[in-house]
Amino acid sequence: MKGLPIFDLAIIVVYLIGMILVGIYFSRKNKNSEQFTKASGRIPGWAIGMSIYATFLSSNTFLGVPGKAFGGNWNAFVFSISMPLAAWVASKYFVPFYRGTGEISAYTHLENRFGSWARTYAVVCFLLTQLARMGSIFFGIALSLQALTGYSMSMIMIIMGICIIIYTVSGGIEAVIWTEVVQAVVKTFGAVLILYLIITNMPGGVPKIMEIGKADHKFSLGSFSPDFVGSSFWVVLLYGFFINLNNFGMDQNYIQRYHTASSSKAASKSIWLCVWLYVPASLMFFIIGSCLYAYYDVHPELVAVIKHQVALERLPLNASAAQVLSMENSLLPTDYGDKIMPHFMVTKIPVGLVGLIVSAILSAAMSTISSGMNSSATVFTVDIYKRYFKPEITDKENLFLLHLSTVGFGLLGMGAGIAMIGVKSILDVWWELSGIFAAGMLGLFLLGIVSRQTKNHEALLATMVGIVVILWMTFSPHISDTYAFLRSPLHKNMIIVVGTLSIFLVGILLTKLKNKNLKSAD
């Protein structure tokens, strides 16, 4: 641990104050709920694309991806490879659909299609997904800043959360989008700077990095065999396609941005801009992880320091020296991968540049959390409060409720982050939770769009079957050895794939059986 120099702290404070001032600036325009949630449909497509890119490029990417590449290989990059196909589906079908409905909520149409239960179920899934996302990002940024400052992770999350809440509540979606445009530039520059510093500090430079990476298979995309038990190329590709389909088709964070564009064409272009920016950017973070692996491979004494820190964190305070040493020897690279980037920043980045890079990581966290808070507040207001408690709410009351619920979801996100303290991998936790919560609503959404003959009863039964499948795959690893045959044989990233297909295919099958019975009765 070491304290940040005053100059670096000043840079970070100036950045945080700047974000708050942006929110205050846009607060002058937020006189009604439509401006708060849609920015009155005046945002240019390129700015929306940059905003979506910034949301994708969260601190999970900034810290989790290098940690994942350090501990393993480039298998997780296959997630990014799947994005163009999901973007094509979204731009061709989802954007025109949502723009045509005119509804700010992504889930209002589900009630029109299947009933109020479908809308409520999707909303619950979305809000749980957002809490998992915000929590993992709060945790990731606190992990980094703790290594730099020595302050407790809980305190860091609280300070961060207050700053994000202020500028999100003040500025609404327009402030979120325009700050994300700035943040997209800042965080990309920060990543390039980190990569440059690693290479310049690496004895032997790029050739040595390539030599070590090839020798230890650090550039592998995973097994290409038809294996769905381990994290093979195909498992991550399927997971990436379905989760990105959910992002572009069911996630209020993105749907809400479609409505801020001036036209459907501009909204579609924003999706493609996000893809063309994110795919190479995510590759850069995998390269950073591999470079860090090579750097610490030639400096094993630094790895020993990190392993000692991790062992002390995991053991009780009264642990003996022998217990600490035993824990250190048992640790694998996957156990401390998320610690690598913060350690490099602490020890190797010059004064002044640390402040800039921390600001980049902060921007990565703030962009995703702020958009999650805004979209969660919108969904809660439209799909829960107005639907079940006060349909005839005035616009003034609606705007107040949006502000209040934004604060509420910010606090809940902080709580989720604090609850995650101690997890091994940020990226693993986020992928698992998002797959579990997103599977149900994506399957229901696809069923409603593709099968126009499917009605309420078939959709409800199919969703119930899907929930059972999702719960079984989620909790089957905890089944005792006596009933091991009941465990799911598939990798956990297949939950969203199997869960989505269960709801969709069961719904199609039930619809066909119903139609067949009706014809027989005639």
Report the distance separating Cα 486 and Cα 479, nearest Å: 8
Mean pLDDT, rounded, for 213-221: 94
* Res. 435: pLDDT tops 50: yes
* Res. 235: pLDDT tops 90: yes
Q: What pLDDT does 74 receive? A: 95
Nearest one of 295, 362, 325 to 148, comparing CA atoms = 362
pLDDT, one tens digit per residue, over 7-40 is 888 888 888 888 778 777 777 766 666 666 666 6
* Res. 405: pLDDT tops 60: yes
455 domain residue, yes or no: no
**Helices 426-450 and 233-250, axial angle in degrees (round to 10):** 60
Residue-range definition of the domain harbouring residue 207:
6-424
**Model confidence at 85, in pLDDT bands (50, 70, 90)?**
very high
H-assigned helices in 333-352? 333-348
**Helices 252-260 and 233-250, axial angle in degrees (round to 10):** 50
Q: Which residue has the higher pLDDT, 381 or 351?
A: 381
Count the neighbouring beta carbons within 10 Å of the beta carbon of residue 444: 30
CA distance readout (Å), 519 to 466, 515, 522? 28, 6, 5
Report the distance separating Cα 426 and Cα 415, nearest Å: 16
Angle at 293 between CA 435 and CA 430, to 5 degrees: 15
Can you tell me whether residue 261 is helix, strand or coil? Answer: strand
* Res. 430: pLDDT tops 90: no
471 domain residue, yes or no: no
Give the mean pLDDT of the chain. Answer: 84
Long-range interactions of 82-85: CB distance < 8 A, separation 24+:
82/236, 82/237, 82/238, 82/239, 82/240, 82/241, 82/244, 83/240, 83/244, 83/275, 83/278, 83/279, 84/275, 84/279, 85/241
Report the distance separating Cα 393 and Cα 10, nearest Å: 44
Beta bridge partners of 261: 43
488 domain residue, yes or no: no
* Res. 106: pLDDT tops 80: no
CATH of the domain at 150: 1.20.1730.10
* Res. 508: pLDDT tops 90: yes
497 domain residue, yes or no: no
| % of the chain with per-residue pLDDT over 90 | 24
* Res. 236: pLDDT tops 90: yes
Task: Name every residue whose Cβ is closer than 8 Å to that of residue 393 and which is 6 or more positions away in sequence.
Answer: 385, 386, 401
Can you tell me whether residue 21 is helix, strand or coil? Answer: helix
Is residue 164 within 8 A of residue 33, CB to CB? The reply is: no
Q: Which residue in the block uniquely carries the two structure tokens 């039964």?
A: 461
Nearest one of 273, 368, 258 to 50, comparing CA atoms = 273
Q: What pLDDT does 59 receive? A: 66
Mean pLDDT, rounded, for 168-193: 79
484 domain residue, yes or no: no
Q: Residue 456 has which token pair?
A: 């309420």
**Model confidence at 469, in pLDDT bands (50, 70, 90)?**
very high
| C-alpha atoms less than 13 angstroms from C-alpha of 15 in its C-beta half-sphere | 23
240 domain residue, yes or no: yes
Task: Name every residue whose Cβ is closer than 8 Å to that of residue 472 and which is 6 or more positions away in sequence.
Answer: 488
Task: Name every residue whose Cβ is closer than 8 Å to that of residue 242 and which is 6 or more positions away in sequence.
Answer: 438, 439, 442, 496, 497, 500
61 domain residue, yes or no: yes
Q: Which of 128-132, 155-159, 171-175, 383-387 has the lowest mean pLDDT?
A: 171-175
Report the distance separating Cα 442 and Cα 90, nearest Å: 13
Counted domains in the chain: 1
Q: Which residue has the higher pLDDT, 462 or 148?
A: 462
Q: What pLDDT does 30 receive? A: 66
Mean pLDDT, rounded, for 424-441: 74
Report the distance separating Cα 494 and Cα 435, nearest Å: 8
Q: What pLDDT does 399 receive? A: 82
Can you tell me whether residue 43 is helix, strand or coil? Answer: strand
Q: What pLDDT does 1 receive? A: 42
In total, the chain counts a number of residues equal to 522
Nearest one of 466, 457, 97 to 264, comparing CA atoms = 97
522 domain residue, yes or no: no
Q: What pLDDT does 211 receive? A: 95
pLDDT, one tens digit per residue, over 248-269 is 888 887 887 888 788 888 888 8
Is residue 436 within 8 A of residue 470, CB to CB? The reply is: yes
The most confident of 48-57, 365-374, 415-424, 453-462, by mean pLDDT: 453-462
Helix, strand, coil shares, percent, the chain, to 5: 85, 0, 15
pLDDT, one tens digit per residue, over 127-157 is 888 888 888 888 877 877 776 777 788 888 8
* Euclidean distance between the first and the last CA atom of the chain, given in angstroms as a whole number: 78
